[in-house]
Amino acid sequence: MQPIQTLFDLRGRSVVITGAGQGIGRTFAKSFAQAGATVVLAEMNELKAKTVADEITSQGGKAVVIATDVGNHASTQKMAAQVRAQLGKADVLINNAGIFSSLKMRPFEQIPDDEWERVLHVNITGVFNCCRALTPLLRASASGRIINISSGAITLGRPNYLHYTTSKAALLGLTRSLARELGPAAITVNAILPGSTHTEIERETVTPQQRQHIVEMQCIPRVQVPEDLVGTAMFLASDASAFLTGQGITVDGGATHT
Ligand SMILES: NC(=O)c1ccc[n+]([C@@H]2O[C@H](COP(=O)([O-])OP(=O)(O)OC[C@H]3O[C@@H](n4cnc5c(N)ncnc54)[C@H](O)[C@@H]3O)[C@@H](O)[C@H]2O)c1
């Protein structure tokens, strides 16, 4: 058994966070950097990622931006090659990128075909691409970790973004099966299911009444913020969770009980 003092120690870990230019990914990047990890912001919006990286480095943290489209196989392979070249290793992959805040909530019959395809592609195939690209590096780590950001919307069966909930439900199957494939390499694969989380990004089709309704469903009746997810992500990234794999952990203030 390793010393208790090091169980949650993330110093020196190389943590790749997709979609870290805003919202939850941005908070993950800043928090992991504060914990002493070197964070890789694998983001399509390079400008936003650079702003986050500048915030991190100005506070003494270590951050690298790699422009990445998770939906593009070649782009994710290139990202992994750059991680290898610049950091020499990857210990943790947080699959956070997704098409989410830009989505208009609407009845499923009104979802255009191309939007359906795009959401499933980025939110599912994007995770597959990143897992595939980074697994060689994760295998070489003593503490390989994959953390997939699913959603509590799949437990609730939230209506009006059927492509989104379908894509996030797929991540649970992916998590469970990949955990079996990568378990022999001691790489853990888990999912976090966040409840509705208020970020700096406004969502035009979510009304104040809907927000209030969600808060009322929670055991802890206050608005959920990205910081509420950090502790669980850090636990799943740390040595403390080395024997926990294939699980989905809901962090939603108790809105749902699974
Ligand atoms: N905020 C919530 O209420 C909530 C709840 C449950 C789950 N989630 C999930 O958590 C994650 C982050 O949520 P958020 O609220 O910060 O979302 P967001 O929409 O604000 O941010 C998503 C980020 O992913 C990036 N991105 C999108 N497509 C990409 C691609 N192809 N390649 C690389 N980057 C890409 C975007 O540029 C953006 O920076 C998402 O997967 C989301 O589905 C969010």
- Ligand 1, CB cutoff 6 Å, lining residues: 18-19, 21-25, 43-45, 68-71, 96-101, 122, 126, 149, 151, 194, 196-197, 199, 201
Element (H, E) at 209: helix 208-217
Residue 166 lies in a domain: yes
- Find the catalytic residue in 21, 53, 164, 187: 164
Give the residue among 193, 107, 183 at the shortest CA–CA distance from 138: 183
Cα 184 to ligand 1 centre (Å) = 30
Residue 256 lies in a domain: no
Query: Residues 19, 22, 26, 28: what is their CA dihedral angle, to the nearest 10 degrees?
Result: -60
Confirm whether 164 is a catalytic residue.
yes
Q: Which atom of ligand 1 is nearest to the CA of 126?
A: 31
| Per-residue confidence in pLDDT tens, the chain, 258 aa | 889 999 999 999 999 999 999 999 999 999 999 999 999 999 999 999 999 999 999 999 999 999 999 999 999 999 999 999 999 999 999 999 999 999 999 999 999 999 999 999 999 999 999 999 999 999 999 999 999 999 999 999 999 999 999 999 999 999 999 999 999 999 999 999 999 999 999 888 788 898 999 999 999 999 999 999 999 999 999 999 999 999 999 999 999 998
Beta strands (DSSP E) in 201-244 are none
Residue 117 lies in a domain: yes
Element (H, E) at 161: none
Cα 130 to ligand 1 centre (Å) = 15
Q: Decide: residue 152, CB within 10 A, 0-12 exposed, 13-18 middle, 19+ buried.
A: buried
Are 10 and 32 in contact by the 8 Å Cβ rule? The answer is yes
- Helix crossing, 227-237 with 23-34: angle to 10°? 60
Residue 257 lies in a domain: no
Cα 2 to ligand 1 centre (Å) = 35
Which structural domain range is residue 149 located in?
4-251
Residue 15 lies in a domain: yes
| pLDDT given for residue 207 in this prediction | 85
Q: What is the CATH number of the domain that holds 219?
A: 3.40.50.720
Domain count, the chain: 1
Probe residue for ligand 1, chosen from 28, 100, 167 as the CB with the greatest number of ligand atoms within 8 Å: 100
Cα 24 to ligand 1 centre (Å) = 7
Q: What is the DSSP string of 15-71?
A: EEEETTTSHHHHHHHHHHHHTTPEEEEEES-HHHHHHHHHHHHHTT-EEEEEE--TT
Residue 170 lies in a domain: yes
Cα 29 to ligand 1 centre (Å) = 13
Residue 131 lies in a domain: yes
Q: Which atom of ligand 1 is nearest to the CA of 153?
A: 6
Nearest CA to ligand 1 atom 19: 101
Task: Give the strands of the sheet with 188-194, arranged side by side.
Answer: 62-67, 38-43, 14-18, 92-95, 145-149, 188-194, 248-251
- CB under 8 Å to 169, separation ≥6 — which residues? 150, 154
Q: Which atom of ligand 1 is nearest to the CA of 194?
A: 6
Give the residue among 189, 177, 186 at the shortest CA–CA distance from 147: 189
